[in-house]
């Protein structure tokens, strides 16, 4: 069981403090958003932007008016301060409604924030396979929010590829192009250039994704945001991800093709760690 704390109703409580009633709309009908940030090695990179996105997600889902992003960040930093400097933490603001009939009732908005220990995954990398599950189009699901209702299909994608011996799933968009991993944004490298799927509304333009693109470009790396096909991944020199859980991680096996962490991945990870310790 993770060690942590949850802020709810104005107080810090045990990490596993109950939050929901049996008739809670957020659980029953998925009027629930969350965000995720990280604290590690004494830094919390882009914490302000994660808090801003939580507010955006709540507004997009019609959940009402949560605390503003500055207040959410203040609460998050209070929670971080409860741990030692070297703790590896996950910070999760959450917004939902207790009531509503199919559509959420914004007058019943609730807010909580959990901070808990979650070690960063090993830099050794992971194995990935292509899933038959796809990301939805923006007129099919609330793809502009970090909404909990989007995650069951990602979970099914991961379960599907795990049956074939992989750790994470590559998911396509409705048109059959690569969208992202089930839990993170996707990058590949070919002939010394970085490629990543263009944001088309089917997946979140991740905060770590945006940061890595900016850092790479500022340091002379060509980053092409465009169409990435399943065939492109099979021919890639490198594949890696960006996301809050592991930040920047390499793929070491894609569809049973062995890969090595390459120079583009190493540059991305090193630049991100450098940025985090300067600005986090």
Together in a domain, 64 and 178: no
* Local confidence band at 84 (pLDDT 50, 70, 90 cut-offs): very high
Together in a domain, 157 and 273: yes
pLDDT at 238: 98
Contact 35, 58 (CB under 8 A): no
pTM: 0.96
Contact 257, 238 (CB under 8 A): no
Which candidate, 145, 147, 226, 152, places its Cα nearest to that of 190? Answer: 226
Q: Which domain does 30 fall in, by range?
A: 4-117
Average pLDDT, the chain: 97
State pLDDT tens for residues 160-218: 999 999 999 999 999 999 999 999 999 999 999 999 999 999 999 999 999 999 999 99
Together in a domain, 84 and 130: no
The strand pair at 11-14 and 4-8 is best described as antiparallel
Read off the pLDDT of each residue in 214-237 and give the average, rounded to a whole number: 98
> Which residues, including other chains, have CB under 8 Å from residue 156's CB and lie 6 or more apart?
133
CATH number at residue 36: 3.30.470.10
Strand-pairing partners, residue 33, are 95, 147
Q: Number of structural domains, the chain?
A: 2
């Amino acid at each position: 069981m993770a060690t942590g704390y949850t802020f709810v109703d104005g107080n810090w409580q045990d990490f596993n403090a109950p939050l929901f009633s049996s008739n809670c709309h957020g659980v029953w009908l998925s009027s629930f958003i969350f965000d995720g940030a990280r604290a590690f090695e004494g830094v919390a990179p882009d914490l302000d932007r994660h808090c801003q996105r939580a507010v955006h997600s709540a507004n997009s889902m019609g959940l009402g008016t949560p605390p503003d992003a500055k207040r959410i960040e203040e609460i998050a930093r209070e929670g971080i301060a409860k741990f030692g400097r070297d703790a590896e933490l996950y910070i999760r603001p959450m917004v939902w409604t207790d009531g509503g009939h199919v559509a959420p009732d914004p007058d019943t908005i609730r807010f909580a924030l959990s901070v808990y220990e979650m070690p960063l995954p090993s830099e050794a990398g992971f194995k990935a396979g292509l899933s038959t599950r796809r990301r939805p189009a923006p007129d099919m699901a609330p793809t502009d929010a970090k909404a909990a209702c989007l995650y069951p299909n990602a979970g099914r994608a991961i379960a599907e590829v795990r049956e074939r011996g992989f750790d994470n799933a590559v998911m396509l968009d409705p048109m059959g192009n690569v969208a992202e991993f089930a839990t993170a944004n996707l990058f590949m490298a070919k002939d010394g250039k970085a490629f990543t799927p263009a944001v088309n509304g089917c997946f979140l333009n991740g905060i770590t994704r945006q940061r890595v693109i900016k850092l790479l470009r500022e340091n002379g790396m060509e980053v092409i945001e465009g169409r990435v096909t399943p065939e492109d991944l099979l021919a890639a020199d490198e594949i890696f991800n960006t996301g809050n859980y592991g930040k920047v991680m390499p793929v070491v096996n894609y569809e049973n093709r062995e890969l090595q962490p390459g120079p583009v991945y190493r540059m991305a990870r090193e630049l991100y760690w450098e940025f985090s310790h300067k600005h986090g």
